[in-house]
A = this chain, B = another copy of it.
Amino acid sequence: MRDDEQVLAANSGFYAAFAAQDTAAMAALWAQRAPVACIHPGWQPLLGRDAVLASWRAILSGPGAPPIRCGDAVAHVLGDSAYVICVELIAPVELIATNIFVREDGAWRMTHHHASSIARGASEPEEDPEPEGFLH
């Protein structure tokens, strides 16, 4: 498999663990040595493997975790790291995610996840202080 295919497979593994509420698989796919961080939608950032994995344990063990699907994933390889942009479909909500991976011990492991809300079909910013202006 090419690097980008391997990265997309790792990205799919993340969403498979998420959808299956599999805390052991989720813990295994995060980097062991590279610095780990996570920004859940609307949250302050979590820094460090312990804080990030604790958040996933809480999320995956909660009763309210809805089905999640990943779509439109695009991988960008930067040597021994890579980032994926994809849509997260959690009906009726659509989120956008940036997932960063790093090659560790021959496997692509997640180092950072940032998910946020997106306007469906948006081509304009959600926050627009003036008709002609952009927040960015």
Contact = CB atoms under 8 A, between A and B. Distances in A.
26 contacts: A34-B76, A39-B98, A40-B135, A41-B126, A42-B122, A42-B127, A44-B118, A44-B122, A47-B74, A47-B85, A59-B134, A62-B134, A63-B133, A64-B133, A78-B80, A78-B81, A79-B81, A90-B135, A96-B114, A98-B100, A98-B112, A100-B100, A114-B116, A115-B136, A116-B116, A117-B126
Interface residues of A, number: 60
A8 interface: no
Nearest to A79: B80
A119 interface: yes
A105 interface: no
B136 A45 contact: no
A65 B134 contact: yes
A133 B59 CA distance: 7
